[in-house]
Amino acid sequence: MPSFAGLAPEAVDAIAALFGTEAVVEPYTPDGAAVYRLTPGGAADGVTLVLWPSLRRVDVTSTGNHAWVMKNVGSVEVVPGVEVVFRPAGFDGYLFVSVNGWVNMVIG
């Protein structure tokens, strides 16, 4: 299972590959660094991930006005064919997005 420190460029590429999509650079930036949007298709259609590597942040939205935001992303695990798991630095919890479109977040 590939694991990455934060939202490293290799993590962005691995997440895009997991969902079979491209990491598109957004036209905005908080500090000159790239922000990436991923829009998976298939079973995860309707889910959008926005990755902010320089802010160590990930935003996830899904159809039906649902949204999850994790700041201070410390590590990223990609489970091939299954899901991506974002873990915060400094405390327990996770935000996962599966290839079937399920999203869950637990912090504690």
User: How many whole angstroms separate alpha carbon 53 and alpha carbon 69?
Assistant: 13
Q: Say what the pLDDT of residue 98 is.
A: 97
* Whether residue 108 has pLDDT greater than 90: no
Domain that holds residue 46: 3-107
Q: Do 67 and 61 form a contact (C-beta atoms < 8 A)? A: yes
User: Could you tell me which residues come within 8 angstroms of residue 43 by beta carbon, excluding any fewer than 6 positions away?
Assistant: 99, 100, 101
Identify which of 79, 67, 72 has the alpha carbon closest to the alpha carbon of residue 105. Answer: 67
pLDDT tens per residue across span 8-67: 999 999 999 999 999 999 999 999 999 999 999 999 999 999 999 999 999 999 987 899
Q: What pTM was estimated for this model as a whole?
A: 0.95
Residue 65: per-residue pLDDT: 83
* pLDDT reported for residue 64: 79
Query: Total structural domains in the chain?
Result: 1
What confidence tier does 75 reach under pLDDT thresholds 50, 70, 90? very high
Residue 1 has pLDDT above 90, yes or no: no
Closest CA to 63 of 86, 77, 43: 43
What tokens were used for 63? 């159809």
